[in-house]
């Protein structure tokens, strides 16, 4: 079945450091892929998306490229800021199941903490 694996956190970086959060998926076909972000005290919001292979989503300095050959959609940012501290979710294809057979709609989330 379809599945997604997201890098576990927390990730702690200094301001202006380079960020990579890994996300890989397995799916039949080529679904749309998303990254969502959850700032403290808020719900999730879309950060970026890609709808087909080789698409690059970008927003607020973050980028992710939908790589069919490696089935990956890693999130990157060249220079993080303290305000980027949040939890980042890689959203897998709909219908993804976890090991217990339950519907999994989002990856486990990666907490990012950026220190001044």
Nearer to other proteins among residue 23 and residue 107 (C-beta)? 107
Q: Write the DSSP assignment of 23-86 as a string of letters.
A: EEEE-SS---EEEEEE-TTS-EEEEEEE-STT-EEEETTEEEE-BTTTTB--EEESS--GGG-E
Closest-CA residue to 69 (of 53, 47, 85, 56): 53
Instruction: Determine which residue in the list 55, 71, 108, 113 makes contact with other proteins, applying CB under 8 A.
Output: 108
Closest to other proteins by CB, 70 vs 102, is: 102
**Which stretches of the chain are DSSP H helices?**
none
Q: Does 43 bind other proteins (CB under 8 A)?
A: yes
Q: Looking at 28, 69, 103, 116, which residue binds other proteins (CB under 8 A)? A: 103
Please, which of residues 7-36 interact with other proteins by CB under 8 A?
31-32, 34, 36
> Which residues of this protein are in contact with other proteins, per CB under 8 A?
31-32, 34, 36, 41-46, 49, 51, 89, 93-95, 102-109
């Amino acid at each position: 079945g379809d599945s997604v694996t997201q890098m576990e956190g927390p990730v702690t970086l200094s301001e202006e450091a380079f960020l990579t959060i890994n996300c890989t998926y397995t799916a039949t076909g080529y679904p749309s892929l998303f990254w969502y972000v959850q700032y403290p005290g808020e719900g999730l919001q879309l950060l970026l998306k890609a709808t087909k292979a080789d698409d690059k989503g970008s927003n607020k300095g973050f980028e992710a490229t939908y790589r069919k050959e490696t089935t990956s959609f890693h999130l990157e940012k060249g220079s993080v800021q303290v305000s980027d501290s949040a939890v980042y979710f890689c959203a897998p294809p709909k219908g993804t199941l976890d090991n217990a057979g339950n519907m999994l709609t989002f990856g486990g989330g990666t907490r990012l903490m950026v220190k001044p």
